[in-house]
Structure 1
Amino acid sequence: MAFKWGQGSPLAFHARNLEVAEISEDTWNEMSLAEPSLSAAFEALTTWESECNPEVKTGKLSVGIRSLTINVTQICNLKCTYCAAGGDGTYGSPQTKINVEKTLPQLKLFLERVPAGGSFNITFLGGEPLLYPDGIQEIGNYVRLMTAGRDITSRFSIVTNGTLFNETNLNILRNLKANITVSLDGPAEINDKTRPTRTGVGSTALVVEGFRLLERFRSELGTLTLHGVFNRENMQIEKAYEFFQTLNADRYEFTYSVEESDDATNRLYVDQMNTIASKAYALGGESELRKINIFNQYFNALDTQQQTENFCGSGKSFLVMDAKNNLYTCPWEVGNKDEQVGENTNVDFARMENENAPLIEKNNCQNCWARFMCGGGCMFIHKKSTGNKHQKDGHFCYRTRSLLGTTFMYYKLSRASC
């Protein structure tokens, strides 16, 4: 695949080796001929395409759960307009807090299967997880105890609305060296409409107040990420980016809503992402651009030549535990019996073994140039759009390919300046 932007030099991308190379204008022009196979450029590119770089790292997943998202609650103090968890954080089944006594044997079952030298990742989710900080502490302490002396690295993350930070729960997160993701859709005039409290009052002031307290603990915490969700009702990504910069976070995420399927909104999303990419690069080059998580992810893949064959490891290396101790393949599938793979310590490991084929094969992505950067895409988004989790959503493919093209341009600019 080759790309060209304005008057800049065209680039070619090696889909399997994850290599970006500058090509000449003559080569670009020859590739555009009616019969490119007759050109010398086609012969040279065919030779390049056949090369197999031994440094490229396979994206095949090893069998075994290495990441677990735990809904420590299924209640929330906000009522976000686009909430996909039942509209109120409950997934249609409110649960004040998870039963930790049932949770610990489940964790033991998974941790015993992690080999020496491996890692195990826990993400605390809700509802709003900081409504049950004691559960977070008990689970975190147990995982650290179980991995101590076994050459297993345990990592902890939390996704929170950021309105409930206090010294007590920040001490818990500090002791776990937790990575923190705060959901926020932009400045108050936007966020207060999309993420109000259950009483209808805006939540932004509470988040900003919490950030002031969080600053005291930043050196003892992991990465701080700000995460916004965007749809046809709010596609003001540029405003969100500018506001995020005032809060001194490490990373920014601008997520296209899993519920959105409008073509014009989809294209506007890509335009807005290109706008903030341009602003970030002008402001601080590669380092500032890579604060935007999707570009950081793609830069990492190109730098390490790490293929991705599964978008997220859903049901293979990753599971979700709801607040009733049931196990599902995906955070959005909580409550869906078809995607339930266990309850308590009764886990269908055989099903996970059978599901281990790469998504780029199951989703028929073998001939897509973006396959090893995308990994087949999000199955839940595919299902929402097409009715089949293995039938691709064209909007998702468009967003992915477009932002990869943008990445290649900035990757070339960054590496040329080194």
Structure 2
Amino acid sequence: MVHIFKNNGYNIVLDVNSGSVHVVDEIVYDLIPSVEEILTGMFGTAQIPENEEDSEISKELLRKVTDAVVAKGTSYPESEVEEAVEEILSLRQAGLLYTDDIYENYVEEFKTRDTVIKALCLNIAHDCNLRCKYCFADEGEYHGRKAMMTFEVGKAALDFLVKNSGDRHNLEVDFFGGEPLMNWEVVKQIVEYGRSIEKEAGKNFRFTITTNGTLLTKEILDYCNKEMGNIVLSIDGRKEVNDKMRPNAAGHGMYDMIVPKYLEVAKSRHQLRYFVRGTFTHNNLDFAEDVKHLADLGFKQISMEPVVAKPEDWYAIKEEDLPQLKEEYDKLAKIYLQYRKEGKGFNFFHFNIDLSGGPCVAKRLSGCGSGCEYVGVTPWGDIYPCHQFVGNEDFIMGNVFEGIKRTDIQQQFKESNVYSRPECQKCFARYYCSGGCSANAYNFNGNINTVYKEGCELQRKRIECAIMIKAALAEEAEVKNAG
């Protein structure tokens, strides 16, 4: 599969199966689909049989394909067509274009892999001091069950993780809520217990925390800087946007309170190992301005996610919003490059993709690994496939004291991958998003082996922008080196 697209002046060709990216001129860009069609017509596949080419492209094959392209009709001179076809066939011969799907034969083996849990999301607090309008966790209470995790449950959760992590050395534990800082003493007790068993267990815990920042103090920050590998700080961008969607129980916005605290977090962590993370909705479709605002405040690690909401919700992203949102991602990509050029560069989470190697095969196929490599734990110890399934009792897999009892649920998630989702078969982005979010798929379609279509549309645009940025940076480096 080949995906071609134009973005901010670049003609980009992505060979989906190999992950190779090419920036090409207009004629090669125009002819790549025709050459693929012609090769498929000649050989039944875009793959060229070995007897049709030796160490160099045979003149006979080159002439056949060139003649077929010309016969189809083209505005380019035949000599230029032949040169472009030769370049295209050379890329194919080098294994950089029209390549085989090397993962499909692996998927059956992948589905029977041993289950190794490497990450927990600990819902340390089913309560929150904010009343965010779009909160999937129902104001932190997860459908009416307010609770705080005890140390005993947290301790059992870490023991469960160690027991089920196989030979894996590095283990991830995220303190989530509600608002985790409402249960701060227990957070510290769990961290201290984890540190006390690391050496004997042969493990290394990497703790992270997600917070709305309202209860953050210098003492808490000092502790986080010592023990937390990452801190996620919730803010939606501009003051008017944030305060409309993220008020406290009295209806007051928290922007003025949290921004100075967040800036101190960023400074104290040397602009690393944190993210300011926002949500955009139907009410701020110009979300690039919110990202720009956060960058202008001085934040270097930024994430901004589209809201996931029921269609009838007043803030939900609608299908008719998608064209504007795609334009906004293009605008954000330009801002990203311009700020970098001006020495004010920042990282945007969804533009961070690795084109040199990318994730391992398992990551490409399974994504986040919810339900089999990653699970969510409630304050009373129930285990769910991830924090977004909490509250749907059909997905209770077991508990941290007795382990996983519903292995059928675990197997269902283990078998969910880009090949189990029919919509992914035609999608160029499948090895970057790995099929998307299972919780979103279930909540919108009642089946984890489907996709959340609006989310897919935006994911594809983000990936195109990310690839364009890589192309622009590579071009910039080439010019610099040449000078």
TM-score exceeds 0.5: yes
Q: Which string of whole-angstrom CA distances, capped at 9 and with x for unpartnered residues, describes residues 57-106 of structure 1? A: x99686211111111111111101111111x1111234341021122123
- Say which one has the larger Rg: 2
Find the residue that maps to 1:20 and give its secondary structure: strand
Looking at structure 2, the residues matched to 289 and 367 of structure 1 have their Cα atoms a distance apart, in angstroms, of 35
Given that residues 285 and 414 in structure 1 are in contact (C-alpha distance below 8 angstroms), is that contact kept between their aligned partners in structure 2? no
**Is 2:346 the counterpart of 1:275?**
no
Question: Counterparts of 1:97-108 in structure 2 under 5 Å?
Answer: 97-108=148-159
Residue ranges of structure 2 left out of the alignment (5+ in a row): 40-64, 67-84, 310-315, 478-483
- Aligned AA (2:356): D
Query: Does 69-78 or 263-272 show the bigger shift?
Result: 263-272
Question: Counterparts of 1:185-334 in structure 2 under 5 Å?
Answer: 185-211=236-262, 213-214=264-265, 217-219=268-270, 223-259=273-309, 260=316, 262-285=318-341, 291-296=347-352, 298=353, 300=354, 302-306=355-359, 307=361, 308-334=364-390
Summarize the Cα distance change of 1:175–1:43 in structure 2 as closer, same or farther, 3 Å threshold: closer
Q: How many residues align?
A: 410
Find the residue that maps to 1:361 and give its secondary structure: coil
Looking at structure 1, the residues matched to 263 and 336 of structure 2 have their Cα atoms a distance apart, in angstroms, of 24
| Displacement after TM superposition at 1:375 (Å) | 0.2
**Is 2:458 the counterpart of 1:399?**
yes
Find the residue that maps to 2:302 and give its secondary structure: strand
Looking at structure 1, the residues matched to 4 and 376 of structure 2 have their Cα atoms a distance apart, in angstroms, of 39
| Displacement after TM superposition at 1:304 (Å) | 2.5
Summarize the Cα distance change of 1:71–1:129 in structure 2 as closer, same or farther, 3 Å threshold: same
Find the residue that maps to 1:72 and give its secondary structure: strand
If each structure's helix is expressed as a fraction of its own residues, which one has the higher value?
A: 2
Which residue is 1:379 aligned to? Answer: 438
- Aligned AA (1:393): Y
Summarize the Cα distance change of 1:250–1:120 in structure 2 as closer, same or farther, 3 Å threshold: farther
Looking at structure 2, the residues matched to 120 and 139 of structure 1 have their Cα atoms a distance apart, in angstroms, of 14
Query: Does 386-395 or 180-189 show the bigger shift?
Result: 386-395
Looking at structure 2, the residues matched to 145 and 287 of structure 1 have their Cα atoms a distance apart, in angstroms, of 43
Given that residues 178 and 222 in structure 1 are in contact (C-alpha distance below 8 angstroms), is that contact kept between their aligned partners in structure 2? no
**Is 2:77 the counterpart of 1:76?**
no
Q: Which has the higher contact order (CA 8 A, sep 6+)?
A: 1
Looking at structure 1, the residues matched to 333 and 326 of structure 2 have their Cα atoms a distance apart, in angstroms, of 10
Which residue is 2:14 aligned to? Answer: 13
Given that residues 157 and 180 in structure 1 are in contact (C-alpha distance below 8 angstroms), is that contact kept between their aligned partners in structure 2? yes
Query: Does 115-124 or 22-31 show the bigger shift?
Result: 22-31
| Displacement after TM superposition at 1:16 (Å) | 2.0
**Is 2:413 the counterpart of 1:355?**
yes
Summarize the Cα distance change of 1:26–1:234 in structure 2 as closer, same or farther, 3 Å threshold: closer
Looking at structure 2, the residues matched to 143 and 268 of structure 1 have their Cα atoms a distance apart, in angstroms, of 46
- Aligned AA (1:226): V
Summarize the Cα distance change of 1:224–1:9 in structure 2 as closer, same or farther, 3 Å threshold: closer
Percent of residue pairs bearing the same amino acid type: 21
| Displacement after TM superposition at 1:245 (Å) | 1.4
Looking at structure 1, the residues matched to 216 and 437 of structure 2 have their Cα atoms a distance apart, in angstroms, of 31
Summarize the Cα distance change of 1:337–1:274 in structure 2 as closer, same or farther, 3 Å threshold: same
Given that residues 339 and 346 in structure 2 are in contact (C-alpha distance below 8 angstroms), is that contact kept between their aligned partners in structure 1? no
| Displacement after TM superposition at 1:113 (Å) | 3.1
Summarize the Cα distance change of 1:74–1:286 in structure 2 as closer, same or farther, 3 Å threshold: farther
| Displacement after TM superposition at 1:202 (Å) | 1.1
Summarize the Cα distance change of 1:285–1:394 in structure 2 as closer, same or farther, 3 Å threshold: farther
Query: Does 321-330 or 76-85 show the bigger shift?
Result: 321-330
**Is 2:191 the counterpart of 1:140?**
yes
| Displacement after TM superposition at 1:149 (Å) | 5.0
Q: Which residue of the other structure, out of 211, 219, 222, is the alignment partner of 1:160?
A: 211
Looking at structure 1, the residues matched to 224 and 432 of structure 2 have their Cα atoms a distance apart, in angstroms, of 32
- Aligned AA (1:79): R
Query: Does 192-201 or 99-108 show the bigger shift?
Result: 99-108
Find the residue that maps to 2:419 and give its secondary structure: helix
Q: Which string of whole-angstrom CA distances, capped at 9 and with x for unpartnered residues, describes residues 4-29 of structure 1? A: 43794532212122111233433322
- Aligned AA (1:262): K
| Displacement after TM superposition at 1:251 (Å) | 1.4
Q: Which string of whole-angstrom CA distances, capped at 9 and with x for unpartnered residues, describes residues 202-242 of structure 1? A: 111110232355356325x9612111111112323122112
Residue ranges of structure 1 left out of the alignment (5+ in a row): none
Looking at structure 1, the residues matched to 267 and 342 of structure 2 have their Cα atoms a distance apart, in angstroms, of 28
